[in-house]
């Protein structure tokens, strides 16, 4: 979908060539005297357009409007969450008519956050998956014009939102693909395709390289599948080489049967979504390639299937992680943490400024937070605050949960350094405590997206979350770094010693 930003009043938007015109109406008094504004004010006064965000009033061929259909959409207080509700409702209603050109205009003034939410919401509401359908009907909307009172003031937010949409839709694409169309090998090929974009490099390691690195925990999960594992290493270079990178680690279980600890049959098809953490890393890199922020980012994706054959890891088996810690596998369906722990150990070689892992990790997090907010765990206060702020800014929200040491008691084992699972109580927290054992050398955060990565039921499909949160966090961090450098006075008397570049300390060949 092609997005365009224009300076448009409601009166000017009425003359805009489009199939559907969506007018976003706030709760503030409407003072404009053009026909559409007067009509919106009258509808509100009569109670036909309540102020509650998401309420709609559809019009057909109103006077003095080029578009044959007009949708008045309430956005209440005009805050990003309200704008998102209004746009999703309006685009959802409009797409039933299969329009090719849609215009959205803000009646009240709009800031960058509201504009960004309008862009991502319009894309979300109009998204259509087509890859494995023989007679697919793709998204009908080809061109979307967004009108605001002053386009010059929100251009940066608009451009970043367009880039974020590219990332979200890449994450949706790979999340939605059936497991036989999204194997670890195919996921690695998608990562390699990203390396064709500016400032991105990709390396893919196979079973031999992973074994040589000592990733016994990761390899143990993969050993029950005929599909070979892949360990994907992506690098985005937007800053000097001596700037420590942010490392993103995405869980890439392309299908999860539960292994020997087999899952119930009901809704097991949804376990194709168990690689949505990996998909979000790919999507974030797609957005970075478009935005080109001044930051270095590394993406690590351990990817495999969790299957059940004669070679599969068994409950009670003890495996040795890359860190040297031994792990008693009490439940083979707690496999995500087993692949992530080796990736977290690998992340240390980059001397990271921060490490964030993203995983559809626990059903317990779904019970705790539902599908509204992702679970956030963090060992660093500043990192936690920055991720929470990014979630609010992008409307891709998270909620911080505790990491008290008492929660780790259930992970004790009589036969290994640690067990891979504790009891049912606090399951999302004990999973995070397991990961924390492998992330003690750097600022670390864990996003449990088991409740937010996809939707079930009639709307079944990947959400692309938390690409919006991650892009917002990284671009804000990059902007802050640039601002700090601009305010530091230059002196000739002393120079800071450069940091050691975050380069790997071991060499590994790409898998063939």
Pairing of strands 326-328, 398-400: unpaired
Summarize the confidence of residues 273-290 as an average pLDDT.
98
Asked whether residue 501 carries a pLDDT value surpassing 90, the answer given is no
pLDDT at 491: 47
Asked whether residue 312 carries a pLDDT value surpassing 90, the answer given is yes
- The catalytic residue among 139, 263, 349, 400 is 263
pLDDT at 382: 98
pLDDT band (50, 70, 90) for residue 483: confident
* Alpha carbon distance 300, 281 (integer Å): 8
For each of the domains in the chain, give its residue range(s) and CATH number, in order of start. 2-130+141-154 (3.40.220.10), 165-486 (3.40.630.10)
Asked whether residue 507 carries a pLDDT value surpassing 60, the answer given is no
Summarize the confidence of residues 490-495 as an average pLDDT.
43
Asked whether residue 503 carries a pLDDT value surpassing 50, the answer given is no
Higher local confidence (pLDDT), 317 or 505: 317
pLDDT at 495: 38
Quote the DSSP letter at residue 105. E
pLDDT at 506: 36
DSSP secondary structure string for all residues of 315-377: TT-EEE-TTS-EEE-S-TT--HHHHHHHHHHHHGGG--SEEEEEE---HHHHHHHTTTSEEEE
Residue whose C-alpha is closest to residue 256's, from 307, 320, 293: 307
Residue whose C-alpha is closest to residue 154's, from 5, 3, 4: 5
* Alpha carbon distance 298, 502 (integer Å): 10
Asked whether residue 494 carries a pLDDT value surpassing 70, the answer given is no
Quote the DSSP letter at residue 483. H
pLDDT at 488: 56
pLDDT at 510: 34
- The pair of three-digit structure tokens given for residue 199, joined into one six-digit string: 């400032």
Quote the DSSP letter at residue 450. T
Asked whether residue 508 carries a pLDDT value surpassing 90, the answer given is no
- The catalytic residue among 84, 101, 337, 348 is 337
* Phi, psi dihedral angles at 412 (to 5 degrees): -70, 145
* Phi, psi dihedral angles at 301 (to 5 degrees): -130, 100
* Phi, psi dihedral angles at 429 (to 5 degrees): -75, -45
218-232 confidence digits (pLDDT tens): 999 999 999 999 999
345-362 confidence digits (pLDDT tens): 999 999 999 999 999 999
Summarize the confidence of residues 225-240 as an average pLDDT.
98
CA distances from 324 to 50, 219, 257, 315, 338 (A): 61, 14, 27, 20, 13
Concerning whether 400 is annotated as a catalytic residue, the answer is: no
Summarize the confidence of residues 390-409 as an average pLDDT.
98
Query: Mean pLDDT for the chain?
Result: 94
Asked whether residue 487 carries a pLDDT value surpassing 80, the answer given is no
Asked whether residue 139 carries a pLDDT value surpassing 80, the answer given is yes
Q: Helix-strand-coil percent breakdown of the chain, rounded to 5?
A: 40, 20, 40
Q: Do residues 149 and 7 lie in contact, with contact meaning Cβ atoms separated by under 8 Å?
A: yes
244-269 confidence digits (pLDDT tens): 999 999 999 999 999 999 999 999 99
pLDDT at 481: 80
* Alpha carbon distance 39, 236 (integer Å): 50
Give percent of the chain with pLDDT exceeding 70. 95
Concerning whether 69 is annotated as a catalytic residue, the answer is: no
Model pTM?
A: 0.93
Q: Do residues 103 and 21 lie in contact, with contact meaning Cβ atoms separated by under 8 Å?
A: yes
141-159 confidence digits (pLDDT tens): 999 999 999 999 999 999 9
Longest dimension (CA), the chain: 78
pLDDT band (50, 70, 90) for residue 482: confident
pLDDT at 136: 85
38-66 confidence digits (pLDDT tens): 999 999 999 999 999 999 999 999 999 99
Ramachandran bin of 423, using left for φ above 0, alpha for ψ from -120 to 50, beta for the remaining angles = beta
């Amino acid at each position: 979908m092609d997005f365009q930003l224009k300076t448009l009043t409601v009166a000017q938007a009425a003359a805009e060539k489009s199939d559907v015109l969506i007018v976003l109406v706030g709760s503030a008094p409407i003072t404009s005297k053009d026909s559409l504004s007067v009509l919106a004010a009258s509808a509100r006064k009569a109670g036909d357009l309540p102020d509650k965000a998401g309420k709609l009033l559809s019009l057909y061929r109103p006077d003095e409007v080029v578009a044959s259909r007009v949708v008045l959409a309430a956005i209440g207080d005009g805050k990003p969450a309200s704008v998102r509700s209004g746009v999703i409702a309006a685009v959802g209603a409009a797409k039933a008519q299969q329009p090719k050109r849609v215009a959205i205009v803000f009646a009240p003034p709009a800031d960058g956050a509201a504009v960004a939410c309008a862009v991502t919401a319009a894309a979300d509401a109009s998204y259509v998956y087509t890859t494995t359908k023989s007679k697919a009907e793709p998204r009908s909307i080809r061109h979307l014009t967004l009108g605001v009172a002053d386009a010059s003031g929100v251009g940066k937010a608009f451009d970043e939102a367009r880039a974020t949409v590219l990332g979200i839709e890449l994450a949706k694409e790979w999340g939605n693909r059936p497991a036989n169309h999204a194997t670890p090998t195919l996921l690695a090929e998608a990562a390699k395709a990203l390396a064709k974009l500016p400032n991105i490099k990709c390396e893919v390691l196979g079973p031999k390289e992973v074994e040589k690195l000592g990733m016994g925990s990761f390899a143990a999960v993969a050993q029950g599948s005929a599909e070979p594992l892949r360990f994907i290493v992506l690098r985005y270079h937007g800053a000097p080489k001596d700037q420590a990178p942010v490392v993103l680690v995405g869980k890439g279980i392309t299908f999860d049967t539960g292994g020997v600890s087999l899952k119930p049959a009901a809704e097991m098809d949804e376990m194709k979504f168990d690689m949505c953490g990996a998909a979000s890393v790919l999507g974030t890199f797609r957005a970075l390639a478009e935005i080109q922020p001044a930051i270095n980012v590394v993406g690590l994706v351990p990817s495999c299937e969790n299957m059940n054959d004669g070679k599969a890891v068994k409950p009670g088996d003890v495996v040795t992680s890359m860190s040297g810690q031994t792990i008693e596998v009490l439940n083979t369906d707690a496999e995500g943490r087993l692949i992530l722990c080796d990736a977290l150990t690998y992340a240390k070689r980059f001397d990271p400024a921060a490490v964030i892992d993203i995983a559809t990790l626990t059903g317990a997090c779904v019970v705790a937070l539902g599908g509204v907010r992702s679970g956030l765990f963090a060992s660093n206060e500043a990192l936690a605050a920055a991720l929470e702020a990014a979630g609010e800014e992008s409307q891709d929200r998270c909620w911080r949960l505790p990491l008290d040491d008492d929660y780790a008691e259930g992970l004790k084992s009589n036969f290994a350094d640690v067990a891979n699972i504790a009891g049912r109580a606090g399951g999302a927290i004990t999973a995070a405590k397991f990961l924390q054992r492998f992330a003690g050398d750097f600022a670390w955060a864990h996003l449990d997206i088991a409740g937010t990565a996809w939707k079930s039921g009639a709307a079944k499909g990947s959400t692309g979350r938390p690409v919006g949160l991650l892009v917002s966090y990284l671009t804000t961090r990059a902007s802050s770094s640039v601002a700090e450098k601009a305010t530091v006075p230059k002196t000739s008397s002393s120079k800071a010693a450069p940091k050691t570049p975050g380069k790997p300390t071991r060499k590994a060949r790409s898998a063939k």
